[in-house]
Amino acid sequence: MKRFTDYIDISGEVLNALRQYEPIVALESTIISHGMPYPDNIATALELEQIIRDNGATPATIAIINGRIKIGLSSEDLELLAKGKDVAKVSRRDIPSIIALGKTGATTVASTMIFAQLAGITVFATGGIGGVHRGAETSFDISADLTELAQTDVAVVCAGVKSILDIGKTLEKLETLGVPVLGYKTEEFPSFYTRKSGFYVDYKVETPLEFAMMLKTKWDLNIDGGVVIANPIPVEYEANQDIINSAIKQAISEAEKNHIKGKEVTPFLLSKVKELTGGESLEANIALVRNNAALAAQIAVEYSRLTEE
């Protein structure tokens, strides 16, 4: 009988870090294939990996390449994801089909968490998590990221939920699922492109060490599930909230008019918001994910020290 290890290829860099019990940070791959245009996507992917190294951890970008789960990608893998037209967007439900059929897929927050946990990686940096879509009371469109956070032991460093979503309902859902929402030096939950949303985190945390202590305590007590670590976009890169909100409203209207649904909604909305803001949202997106990668690496370093002790 096959075990999950028969489906996974781990790069030499990541495997060495695992064997030495060194800090590792997971990175998703939909940001490469579906989140940004070429060549911004591959440039950002390489930069994020370097930021993680510069902060003392090993990067582990995750994807499915030709039916194999890859933990740590080669430059050829990154190029394939950045340019590929047939790269699937893979969440939990898609994993068996994409692997069994030998296809290539980019991982979302949910699937990255699953593969990170399989590999023994506990910290993950992304841009923003998925959540409850606006109008979900009739469409029932709720991201699988939220249920994954309730059951998979990975801390997700993000700039909040994507502002195209219903932030209030997303936080209510996370509360129901028992997922802690922690803010880095902030009491207010960030709104992806902007630092404020009008909603609040569960606890304000001041240092990477405090985050690491909370993670260790949670998992030492066998309290299953992940943690949302909300890290606001740096002030100097914050987008104009009125411009962003106006663009989001127009993008949502066009999505409804064109009957865009399911997993196609988020890429369409992000692309349309970028177009409507003249690229301002893309610049903000790149800046916030850089910021998240640095914080994630710092937390991974502190968590590694604590678990060694």
Q: Pick the catalytic residue: 28, 148, 238, 302?
A: 28
Instruction: Given the residues 70, 162, 173, 274, select the one marked as catalytic.
Output: 162
Indicate if 173 belongs to the active site: no
The closest alpha carbon to 184, from 161, 165, 157, 223, belongs to 157
Q: How many CB atoms lie within 10 A of CB 223?
A: 11
The closest of 118, 173, 117 to 147, measured between CA atoms, is 173
Q: Give the 3-state DSSP-derived string for 162-226, with helices as H, strands as E and coil as C.
A: CCCECHHHHHHHHHHHCCCEEEECCCECCECCECCCCCECCEEECCHHHHHHHHHHHHHCCCCCC
**What would you measure as the largest C-alpha separation in the chain, in angstroms?**
57
- How many other C-beta atoms can be found within 10 angstroms of the C-beta atom of residue 59? 26
Q: Please give the single-letter amino acid code of residue 97.
A: S
The C-alpha atoms of residue 5 and residue 43 are separated, in whole angstroms, by: 30
Between CA 237 and CA 235 the distance in angstroms is: 5
The answer to whether residue 264 is catalytic is no
Cα(242)–Cα(257) distance, integer angstroms: 23
| Element holding 12 (H helix, E strand) | helix 12-19
Which of 188, 122, 130 is closest to 158 using CA atoms? 130
The answer for residues whose C-beta is within 8 angstroms of residue 79's C-beta and 6 or more apart is 42
Give the active site residues: 28, 162
